[in-house]
């Protein structure tokens, strides 16, 4: 029998594997999220940028998520397919799908960069950049420089799950950590010492992204379970049809957030102009800056949630490939519990400590209108986080099972039908508060659908239990 270097995924305790794979994945995603969040913290605490810089950061943030969406579709899809292929002993498919993912990631990143540079003014306007002139100028400066780093950013993010599929979650984490450390070191230097403003925040970010990308390149030439060859690289249509659909849920979960943020930002601009306080020019940027900060905290929580589930993709894929449905079911139970506890902990923090959270982002130098709106935004917008984290875990688990269609449909319902729909509808009745109500209502309705799918997953996995003991059980 051929030795399979990833056989420990079928033999080691599920709880041990979850810690081994999920924790590094969580750290990788958290640190990736910190790129933008750290920028915003330093921007907010620079007196010459303040809430204008905060609002500008919020305008540009969805555009980095677009690039991330394409990258994770390629990377997560490849990760799931490689894991299933290795579990089934199909190494030819594994190395060719990795080589193919590298080629299409590079091509996609160049296309995204070109489109951003050609249509920058139109894109920034679409995401609410025209809330006032100062915000638009800051957003444009930040956007141009961030765009220059898109190819490095996309490559690093796409290869991160591929590295995990090779059984090296710690290296995947450390490569992201290294980039984030560079960003954190350069941010205060560029913003406070050199006074480069929004450009300085972007330059610090790009420096970290370049390092992460180069570390990923190094690892690709030192893989363990898979060895890349010259014939690995190409645009293989047959393989793309297999692994890209497995990453489509990851794409939808990110790109639909962009659609939701576009709707939210535009509703903020529209109904902020009707508010008796925020219609004033000196306060017009406050709602956009605040909602951006609230979304950043939500991004931290969702990074943990996605990390828990995405870290388990290689484990689930390998065990399903090896016909160990009992282990796949055990992992699903533990994942749902971990997701719920994550959301519950986050809910406690936002309900009890909203003032402290907003203080991190420079609230001390802002008006009372800023802090009052921020407290209300945190408590309303994020009040259904335990359900949001369970929803996210369910989406990704379906993806790891190879059920790309179910996962994609559920993600579309949450992010587009509910997320965009309620963001556009509720402000008609509740004005600015309607924007805040859109998130919890979307998560509540999605959870009702998720419960049905959760029951279905339990039924399928129980029905497909192996009829004979596995190799590891006979030892």
With contact defined as beta carbons under 8 Å apart, do 14 and 330 qualify? yes
Mean predicted lDDT score pLDDT of the chain: 85
- The DSSP result for 386-435, as a single string, is HHHHHHHHHHHHHHHTT-HHHHHHHHHIIIIIIIIHHHHHHHHHHTHHHH
With contact defined as beta carbons under 8 Å apart, do 74 and 105 qualify? yes
In terms of average pLDDT, the best of 61-70, 114-123, 253-262, 388-397 is: 114-123
> For a pLDDT cut of 70, what percent of the chain falls above it?
94
Contacting residues for 351 by C-beta, under 8 A, at least 6 apart: 379, 383
Domain spans, the chain? 13-463
What are the pLDDT digits (tens) for 431-443? 889 999 999 999 9
Which of the 8 DSSP states describes residue 192? I
Say if residue 461's pLDDT is above 70: yes
Contacting residues for 320 by C-beta, under 8 A, at least 6 apart: 84, 87, 328, 400, 401, 402
Q: What is the pLDDT of residue 390?
A: 94
Residue 2's pLDDT band (cuts 50, 70, 90): very low
Question: Is the pTM for the entire model greater than 0.85?
Answer: no
> For a pLDDT cut of 90, what percent of the chain falls above it?
33
What are the pLDDT digits (tens) for 312-332? 877 887 777 777 777 878 888
Average pLDDT over residues 225-246: 86
């Amino acid at each position: 029998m051929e030795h399979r270097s990833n056989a420990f995924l079928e033999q080691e305790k599920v709880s041990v594997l979850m810690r081994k794979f999920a924790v590094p994945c969580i750290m990788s995603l958290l640190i990736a999220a910190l790129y933008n969040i750290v920028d915003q913290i330093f921007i907010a605490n620079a007196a010459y940028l303040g809430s204008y810089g905060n609002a500008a950061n919020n305008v540009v943030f969805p555009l980095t998520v677009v690039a991330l969406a394409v990258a994770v579709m390629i990377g997560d899809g490849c990760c799931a397919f490689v894991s299933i292929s290795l579990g089934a002993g199909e190494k030819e498919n594994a190395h060719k799908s990795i080589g193919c993912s590298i080629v299409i990631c590079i091509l996609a990143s160049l296309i995204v960069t070109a489109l951003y540079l050609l249509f920058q003014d139109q894109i920034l306007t679409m995401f609410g950049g025209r809330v006032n002139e100062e915000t638009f100028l800051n957003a444009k400066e930040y956007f141009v420089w961030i765009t220059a780093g898109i190819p490095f950013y996309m490559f690093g993010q796409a290869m991160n799950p591929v590295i995990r599929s090779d059984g090296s979650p710690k290296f995947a984490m450390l490569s992201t950590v290294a980039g984030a450390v560079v960003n954190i070191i350069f941010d205060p230097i560029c913003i406070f010492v050199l006074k480069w403003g929004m450009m300085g925040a972007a330059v610090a970010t790009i420096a970290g992204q370049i390092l992460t990308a180069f570390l990923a390149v190094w690892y690709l030439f030192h893989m363990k379970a898979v060895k890349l060859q010259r014939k690995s690289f190409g645009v293989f249509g047959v393989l793309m049809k297999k692994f890209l659909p497995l990453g489509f849920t990851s794409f939808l979960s990110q790109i639909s957030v962009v659609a939701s943020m576009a709707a939210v930002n535009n509703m903020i601009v529209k109904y902020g102009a009707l508010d008796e306080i925020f219609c004033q020019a000196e306060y017009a940027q406050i709602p956009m800056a605040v909602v951006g900060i609230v979304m950043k905290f939500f991004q931290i929580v969702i990074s943990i949630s996605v990390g828990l589930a995405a870290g388990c993709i290689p484990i689930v894929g390998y065990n399903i490939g090896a016909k160990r449905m009992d282990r796949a079911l055990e992992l699903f139970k533990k994942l749902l519990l971990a997701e719920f506890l994550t959301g519950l902990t986050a809910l406690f923090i936002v309900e009890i400590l909203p003032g402290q959270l907003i203080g991190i982002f420079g609230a001390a130098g802002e008006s009372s209108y800023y802090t009052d709106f921020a407290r209300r935004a945190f408590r309303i917008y994020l009040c259904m986080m335990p359900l949001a984290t369970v929803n996210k875990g369910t989406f990704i688990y379906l993806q790891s099972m190879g059920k790309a269609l179910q996962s994609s449909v559920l993600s579309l319902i949450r992010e587009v039908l509910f997320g965009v729909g309620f963001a556009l509808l509720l402000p008609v009745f509740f004005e600015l508060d309607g924007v805040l109500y859109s998130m919890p209502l979307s998560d509540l309705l999605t959870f009702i659908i998720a419960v049905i799918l959760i029951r279905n997953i339990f039924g399928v996995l129980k029905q497909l239990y192996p009829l004979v003991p596995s190799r590891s059980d006979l030892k």
